[in-house]
Amino acid sequence: MYISITGIKVRGFFGMLKFMRYSMPSFTAAKKANGNFFCEAKKINGYHHTLTAWENKSKMIDYLKGKHHALAMKNFRYIGTGSVHGYEDKIIPNWDDAIKKWKENFKEI
């Protein structure tokens, strides 16, 4: 199973408007995506996080190529900064463990 943990820190009012515009359809598409086992979002320490679990990395990449996620990424620089961490595992981590892994592997984009 492939686990993906993302975090984005939104820049200002207009960044938040764009974040809401693009993240909601992208998140809904992730929940419905083929091969997605788990999909949740939380705001922690000023970052908007997603935690997803996929059948495999290939299924996640198929979702990334979809229109909603592609549009969100095209507008990312207008929204804020953040990081993503992905890895293979046999279990879905709890939020505390996921955030710990994310922080340990933080590379701002």
Q: HSE-up of 20 (CA within 13 Å, CB side)? A: 5
4's CB contacts (< 8 A; 6+ apart) are: 50, 51, 52, 53, 54, 60, 84, 85, 86
Q: HSE-up of 5 (CA within 13 Å, CB side)? A: 24
pLDDT in tens, the chain (109 residues): 999 999 999 999 999 999 999 999 999 999 999 999 999 999 999 999 999 999 999 999 999 999 999 888 888 889 999 999 999 999 999 999 999 999 999 887 6
For residue 107, the model assigns a pLDDT of 81
For residue 52, the model assigns a pLDDT of 98
Question: What is the value of pTM for the model shown?
Answer: 0.90
Tell me the C-alpha distance between 86 and 105, whole Å: 9
Architecture of domain 2-104: 2-Layer Sandwich (3.30)
Q: Which residue has the tokens 């083929």?
A: 34
For residue 73, the model assigns a pLDDT of 86
DSSP string, 29-65: HHHHSTTEEEEEEEEETTEEEEEEEESSHHHHHHHHT
The continuous run of DSSP H or E covering 16 comes out as helix 12-32
Q: Where are the domains of the chain?
A: 2-104
